[in-house]
Amino acid sequence: MGIVVVSNRVARAKADEPMTGGLAAALLPAVSESGAIWVGASGRTRDACGKEPLVEVEALGKGALATLDLPTEHYRGYYEGFANGALWPALHSRPDLIAASPQDYASYREVNCHMARALLRFCRADATLWVQDYHFLPLGAELRKLGVSLPIGFFLHTPMPGRDAMVAVPHHRELIEAMLAYDLIGFQTIDSQRNFESYLRRELGLAAIGAALPGATLTGTTAAGAAVTASTGATSVRSRHGETQLGTFPITIDTELFASRATKAAARPEVSRLRSSLQGGKLVVGVDRVDYSKGIANRLRGFGHLLESEPALRRNVTLMQVAVPSRGDIPAYKALKAEIAGLVSDVNGRFGEPDWVPIRYLAKGYAQTTLAGFYRTAHVGLVTPFADGMNLVAKEYVAAQNPFDPGVLVLSEFAGAARELDAALLVNPHDTAAIGAAIGTALRMSLEERIARWQAMMKVLRATSVQLWFADFVRTLDDSAYMALPVVSQVPTVPAVGSRGAEAPVVRFERH
C-alpha cells in the first residue's frame, strides 16, 4: 500500500483556487507525485455516535485523497478549544494566550481516537504512517492501543518552544509522553529539536542519546537511486514505548515549479493590474494568515516608521498586505483583526494622498499562481513572524524572482527559514524601527548586491526539494522502525465509534 499521510487540513490540486496554510501547500506536490494516500478532515462534521468513521476517497495525482467528517460533539473543543486555544499559542511562545477547558482537552483526545479508528482501514502490512502537526500529538499512541505495529512518524510544522512555554499547556506531560509512541519525530530546526530534548530531560527524566554535531547528516538514496541528504542532529530516546528517533528535516518547496508559475503569472489579469497601478512606484508585499505569530501589526508599524523617517519615499512605495482571515471565533484573533484594522487606518490616514494609499490591505486568499505573480512584481518581500516553524512564503518569494532584476527578502530572524536563507536582510520583528530601516535598505540596494543575495538563496533552495524532503523523512522513518516488534498479550478489539468505552490493551513495543 505504501505511505499514508495524516493531517488536519488537506488540499486538492486546483491551481486557480486559494490554498490556506503552508502545510497543505507543501504537502500537495509531494503527496500527488509519491502515490501516497493523504487522509484528513473533510471540513464537515457529523453525529458520530455508534457509527464507523465515514471515509470518502478520490484520486490525487498518482495517489489518493481520503477525507472524513469529524464528530460534531467534539470538533469545536478539539480545533478551536485545545489545538488552537492551548497548543498553538504555547508552541509559538505565547502561553499568556492559552485558553482551554477540561472539556476541550477531552474533545481533542476523542478526535484523535476517532482519526485512529478511521486509519485502521489503511493499516495494511506494507503501510507506513506519517502524521502531521500539533492537531495529532497523541495519534500515534492511539494507533498503538489499537494494535498497529506499523512504522509511524510525526512531523511538527510549528516551532517547538522552550520548556517554560510548553509546561503552561494543560496535560503537557501526558501529551509529550504519548508522542514517544512514534518511531520518528521530526522538527523544522535543530533549535526545536533541542527544546524537545530539553523538555524530555527536565520533565520526564529521559535523556536523548547519540547526538550528532550541528550540520551532521545522514545520507541515502531513494528507491529510484536518487541521492538524498537526511536530517541533522539525529538522536534517539528510550521510553516505555520503546525507542524513538528525533531528527531535523527543514521543509521546503518545489522551487522550479514555483519559479515557472511566477514567470507565467506575469500575464494574469490581477498581476497586470497590480503592476499598472503602481505607476512606476515600488511594491513591498506581505502574505500571511491573520495570526498573532505572524507579526503583521509590527510590520505595519515598521512601514509607518519608514514613511515617517524617510519622507522622500512617500508616494514612491506601497505596502500590499494579503491577510487571509483565520480562526475568527477565537477571542485573540478577533482582537488582532481589530488592531490591524486600526493600524492600517492610522498609517493611511497620516500619510495617504488623494491619488496614493500607502497600505493596500487585502483580507482574502489568492491562488498560488497569482501569489507567484505578486511576489515577482514586488521589490521587497516582507516576512516578519515573531515565531515560525519555517515560513514557506519566504522561500516562495525568493523562487519567484526575476534572475536579472530580483527583489530583496526582509526576513525575521525568528523564522525557521532564516537558518537557511541567511542572505536575506534579517531583522528582529519586535523592533519596528529596524523593520522600517530594513525596508529602506532593500529599496536602495544596488542591482549587483540584489543579484548576489538572490543567487546565494537560490543555491540553497535548489539543493533540495519538497519531494526529497518527503522521501528523506519516509526513508529515515523506515530505518528507525524496521526492528519494531510488538508484544501483546491478547488481540485488541476496536472500540465502538463515538465512545471510548473500555480501553484496548496497551501494546508494548520492543525496538532493538
Q: Are 396 and 466 in contact (CB under 8 A)?
A: no
Mind listing the pLDDT tens digit for each residue in 206-218? 999 985 433 334 4
Q: How far apart are CA 440 and CA 288, in angstroms?
A: 21
What pLDDT score was predicted for residue 31? 84
283: which strand partners? Answer: 318
Task: Decide if pLDDT at 17 tops 80.
Answer: no
pLDDT band of residue 462 (cuts 50, 70, 90) is very high
Grid look-up 526575476 returns 402
Residue type at 267 in one-letter notation = A
Lowest mean pLDDT among 136-145, 367-376, 486-495: 486-495
Mind listing the pLDDT tens digit for each residue in 39-87? 999 989 998 665 677 789 998 888 899 999 999 999 999 999 999 999 9
**Neighbouring C-beta atoms of residue 73, cutoff 10 Å:** 17
The whole-number average pLDDT for the span 105-118 is 97
Q: Following DSSP, what letter does each residue of 60-127 receive, concatenated?
A: ETTEEEEEEEEEHHHHHIIIIIIIIIIIHHHHTT-GGG----HHHHHHHHHHHHHHHHHHGGG--TTE
What pLDDT score was predicted for residue 267? 87
The whole-number average pLDDT for the span 343-372 is 96
**Residue of 69, 183, 191, 388 with catalytic role:** 388
Mind listing the pLDDT tens digit for each residue in 135-186? 999 999 999 999 999 999 999 999 999 999 999 999 999 999 999 999 999 9
Annotated catalytic residue 157: yes
What pLDDT score was predicted for residue 217? 43
Annotated catalytic residue 430: no
Q: How far apart are CA 286 and CA 323, in angstroms?
A: 8
Task: Decide if pLDDT at 489 tops 90.
Answer: no
The whole-number average pLDDT for the span 232-251 is 92
Q: How far apart are CA 164 and CA 179, in angstroms?
A: 19
Q: How far apart are CA 384 and CA 394, in angstroms?
A: 10
Instruction: Give the burial class of 354: count Cβ atoms within 10 A of its Cβ; 0-12 exposed, 13-18 middle, 19 or more buried.
Output: exposed
What pLDDT score was predicted for residue 232? 57
Percent of the chain's residues with pLDDT above 70: 87
What pLDDT score was predicted for residue 53? 77
Q: Greater confidence, 210 or 397?
A: 397
What pLDDT score was predicted for residue 242? 94
Mind listing the pLDDT tens digit for each residue in 265-306? 988 999 999 999 999 999 999 999 999 999 999 999 999 999
Q: Greater confidence, 54 or 14?
A: 54
Q: Report strand pairing: 227-229 vs 219-221.
A: antiparallel
What pLDDT score was predicted for residue 16? 62
What pLDDT score was predicted for residue 494? 34
**Residue of 92, 114, 135, 157 with catalytic role:** 157
> Among 143, 394, 150, 372, which residue's Cα sits nearest to residue 274?
372
Q: Considering the chain, what is the average pLDDT of its residues?
A: 88
pLDDT band of residue 32 (cuts 50, 70, 90) is confident
Q: How far apart are CA 347 and CA 449, in angstroms?
A: 30
pLDDT band of residue 15 (cuts 50, 70, 90) is low
What pLDDT score was predicted for residue 505? 36
**Cα-flanking dihedrals φ and ψ of residue 58, to 5°?**
-140, 165
First CA to last CA distance, the chain: 25
Task: Decide if pLDDT at 224 tops 50.
Answer: no
- How would you label 406-437 residue by residue, b for 16+ Cβ within 10 Å and e otherwise? bbbbbbbebbbbbbbbebbbbbbbeebebbbb
The whole-number average pLDDT for the span 474-493 is 60
pLDDT band of residue 329 (cuts 50, 70, 90) is confident
The whole-number average pLDDT for the span 430-448 is 98
Q: Residues 6 or more apart from 221 whose CB is under 8 A from it?
A: 227, 228
Lowest mean pLDDT among 21-35, 240-254, 330-344, 486-500: 486-500
What pLDDT score was predicted for residue 492? 35
Task: Decide if pLDDT at 385 tops 60.
Answer: yes
Q: What CA–CA distances, in Å, run from 328 to 44, 111, 420?
A: 18, 21, 33
Q: Greater confidence, 498 or 365?
A: 365
pLDDT band of residue 18 (cuts 50, 70, 90) is low
